[in-house]
Amino acid sequence: IIMAITEEGGIGPRMFQQFLLRLGPPEEFLNIEQSDIEGFPRMNPEKIARILNSLNNTDEYIGKIHDYAANEIYVSCILDDDYPESIRVIDDPPPLIYYRGEKTVWSTDFIAMVGTTKATQGGIRLAVDIAKEFAVRGYGIVSGLAIGIDSAAHLGALKEKGANIAVLGNGLLEIYPEENKPLADLITQSGLLISEHPPYDKVRKSGLVLRNRLITALAKAVIVVQVGEETRGELRTASFASKQAKPLFYGDPENNLDYEKVREWPGTIIKTADSVDEIISYIV
């Protein structure tokens, strides 16, 4: 039912919460009529028809679950016990999380590491070194599988056999960027790829933005290893860290951080991997 109204019906996280509050548990969705949802925000006849049609097609999603499982992709619903609690408590948790890899890593404490896709050698080196130090201390790394800092952080953790979670802004069968498919496969051997998007969904800018809230939700602390000259996703991640009250740190490996760019989301500045134990001291 939840797969039908999210994948086909187009219901997002906030609307799904409204459905639960006003209509009851998902089993009750099968009994709704047009008049039951006409008063919902941003609802129009086309949207209503799409939702009602999706609820008539729930049997199709049994087959989809088997299709996903054949690709080693599994689904966790927000009402399930195995849904990550750290994501469940944010303002707009996704109704479903699709995942591929080793589920046992959920029990690991994670540090978020993100940064510019146009990283310098100094930024790459700092990301690798910090990730390795956290892995040695038993922490995992959560990032977004992007080129640059994200990839360096994932690889640093892998070098020390640390846990990894890569949060995608698209479907798990549409790895983006394509050149990181080998890295994605490596991560699934001892960690997880996760996404709130159905497995065949292509990448969209909105998906890349919103996945940052899941990266920070999964983390005990957030490190923006390097801020790019053209700031993009890394500062959106900083904003989500601030909203979620996560300890926030900025890397400045080459002493060229533009403090004006990060003024809105204050954090502690770090310059080397020697700061790892200081970061751990902030973790609750």
What is the distance between the alpha carbons of residues 261 and 256, in angstroms, rounded to a whole number? 12
97-145 per-position pLDDT tens digit: 999 999 999 999 999 999 999 999 999 999 999 999 999 999 999 999 9
Give me 204's structure tokens. Answer: 């969209």
User: What is the pLDDT averaged over residues 195-207?
Assistant: 95
pLDDT confidence band for 242 (50 / 70 / 90): very high
Q: Report the 3 state secondary structure along 133-166.
A: HHHHCCCEEEECCCCCHHHHHHHHHHHCCCCEEE
With contact defined as beta carbons under 8 Å apart, do 82 and 114 qualify? no
Over 90: is that where the pLDDT of 42 sits? no
In single-letter form, the type of residue at position 32 comes to I
With contact defined as beta carbons under 8 Å apart, do 207 and 176 qualify? no
Over 80: is that where the pLDDT of 210 sits? yes
Q: What is the pTM of this model?
A: 0.94
- Say whether 178 sits in a helix, a strand or coil: helix
Output the pLDDT for position 233.
Answer: 82
pLDDT confidence band for 39 (50 / 70 / 90): confident
What is the distance between the alpha carbons of residues 181 and 40, in angstroms, rounded to a whole number? 40
Output the pLDDT for position 230.
Answer: 79
